[in-house]
Structure 1
Amino acid sequence: MKYKTVCRIATVALIAAGCLGQAQADQLADIKTRGTLVCGVLSTLDPFGYLDPNSRELVGYDVDFCKGVAKQLGVKPELRQLSLDARIPELSQGRVDILAAVLGYTPARAGQIDFSDTYFLSSQKLAVQQDSGYTVPADLDGKRISSIKGSSTQAFVKSTIPGAKIVSYDDAPSAFMALTQRKVEGFGLTEAMLRRFIVKLGPSSTIKVLETPLGQEPWGLGLKKGEPQLVAAVNTALASMETSGEAQAIFDKWLGKDSDYHMQRTFKVEPIKP
């Protein structure tokens, strides 16, 4: 075999090896090499992700889970504010590594991204005026119900109250304001956030939450498709947070008996059942 031919074969082999190495590279390795986990979070949904009025820092239930997972991975968290509509596009385009952004599991979303195990179980409910006479969701059939544009609550409303007229708003405060101003007859959202809005109105609040839920929705951390190593590492991190009590402590801090919500944690970190 001529020398030039040998060199050419060797060069091709090296290039192929390099390409194979790139193909086998994974996002988890990139994150650890970089030393940061870029988390997409919300900044307008207290108590899950919002700007603290005093420190102007992003805080909340989701933010603490992002920080907890980053710690378990041995890297620093880097928080990036996203809108509800931008969550999945930003993840799919690689601008964030993970979503900790009130991301409820749906089959449609599972076709676009991967989900971690459950880190929160949300009861989707409706808020109405106390003098409305409404006692169950079905009472709002044919009525106007406000919700956040792109939220999973809209799917719950459509399936539970097919005749309802959904009015979309860009954020939760605007959707809630529509109810207080009687522009709509109901407002759909996760129970925790509904109760937070009512607490902020104070004793003079004329809003109540209907006890019958629209449904329950497991929340998972969102991850880009095709990254099994990262999914496994995140699930291991969540399991460690559950075992150590950190997951419970985060719940107690933001939603527990000593918070404004007085809620009990009735779930554990576990795989989402489609």
Structure 2
Amino acid sequence: MAQSCIHCQAELPARSRFCSLCGGMQWPIDFKDLARLPQQLKGAFFLYMQQEGRDLGLKAVDLGQEDGFRLRYLEERLLQLAYWIEQQDPSQQEELRAISEEIDWQFRTWAEAYFLQEGREQLPQALPQSLQSYQQMQRGESCNLRTLIANYLQSDKLPYAHSWQAIDWPKKLKTAGRKFFSALGQEELLFFLDPSMRQLGRRGFILTPKGLYWRQSMSQGRSARFSLQAELQLKKQILYINGQVFDIQAELNLNLYFLFKRLALLA
């Protein structure tokens, strides 16, 4: 049986996770059943986390017992989100879209909180504690993207991140434009890292407000737009973005996974 997108009303195959037209996530929630809304949100978040675990290459995601993460962090926020949704009118298309975007935002924040707290031992490396500063950020709140990227990637610990003040910066950027940065001159450059020994700008990766551009050694340039539809998976600590390999360093691959998902919400 077909279903309709909760954002744009496009007809979708049954059990679709995303809309093929607008990219909106489809939540299995009946917004008219307000009495069960907190329980529905909990069930949807548990499904979200199971998918997150699969994408991260984990055997399972254990959200803890009732006296752990679920009680101290999750339960209160589920009630807050349910109360906020109750104040909206899901029969109005714009408000329904806002509800879905708020769920997207909150679930992403809760997932990060889990892996910063009780779930940190499930990851191959610990996430940067600087991510804690984004736990209170609200949907629609402005932020400095360069600072956000620096915090997620711990750029101060990356020896190959290029400086905007370097004398040879324009030459390296021009080379990157020829090799893999197809949006040169069209999109604002936020971050550029070239892990090669000579650092000529022939490979590495570049972040803009709209997407990620990268080139591995002996391969062609690749790119991915920041979108909730993008498929990210970590396999043996190698990151796959829409099936394309991104592999610079294990810790960086993991941090970029979380950064990409945050930027997809901000795009």
Return the TM-score normalized by structure 1. 0.23
In proportion to residue count, which structure has more strand? Answer: 1
Whichever of the two has the greater Rg, that structure is 1
If asked which structure has higher relative contact order (CA below 8 Å, sep 6+), I would say 1
